[in-house]
Amino acid sequence: MAKPAPKPVDRFVLYTVVGALAFVAIGFLVAWFYFKKSEHLEPQVSYVTFGPLVVRASDYSIRTSLAVQTANEQEPWIEDNKQRVEFALQNALSHVDEERVRQPDGIAYLQDTLRDEVNRDLKTKNVQEVLLTDFIIQSN
């Protein structure tokens, strides 16, 4: 008498469970790497706002609000010296070239001038950029 052929073992459920576990494990790894990488993507700069500042020179008047960009670790220095920075900004605004400010690249000129003057006056490099958020110039 011939032996009946062994019945094939159904491993579909086993493969499905192993596949699902692998899928979940890969999902956790992707999420872990994503959040681990995002820890290192914190902004490296901070912004401190000033204004509105109003400066009246002999030929012109300027009213502006602005933000000073600095490194995260330098923000406490900017906050502690906010009055000195504001005075340096006002001083720089009172000595800009009015005609140069009115040219097409005048805002960029003004922002660069303000940054350089504040860093020079305060003998620092903590001010990375000065960004105008509101700006009006008027001839007197």
Please determine, for residue 70, whether its predicted confidence score (pLDDT) is greater than 90.
yes
For residue 121, the cross-strand partners are none
pLDDT at 12: 82
pLDDT tens digits, 14-44: 888 889 999 999 999 999 888 877 666 666 8
**Count of alpha carbons within 13 angstroms of residue 135, beta-carbon side:** 14
Please determine, for residue 110, whether its predicted confidence score (pLDDT) is greater than 90.
yes
pLDDT at 92: 92
3-class DSSP state of 68: strand
Q: Write down the CATH number for the domain with range 45-139.
A: 3.30.479.30
Q: What is the value of pTM for the model shown?
A: 0.68
Residues for the chain: how many in total? 140
Please determine, for residue 68, whether its predicted confidence score (pLDDT) is greater than 90.
yes
pLDDT tens digits, 112-140: 999 999 999 999 999 999 999 998 988 88
Q: Sort 121 into a burial class: Cβ within 10 Å, 0-12 / 13-18 / 19+.
A: middle
**CA-to-CA distance for 137 and 140, rounded, in angstroms?**
10
What is the pLDDT averaged over residues 102-115?
93
* 18-35: burial string, b at 16+ Cβ within 10 Å, e else: eeeeeeeeeeeeeeeeee
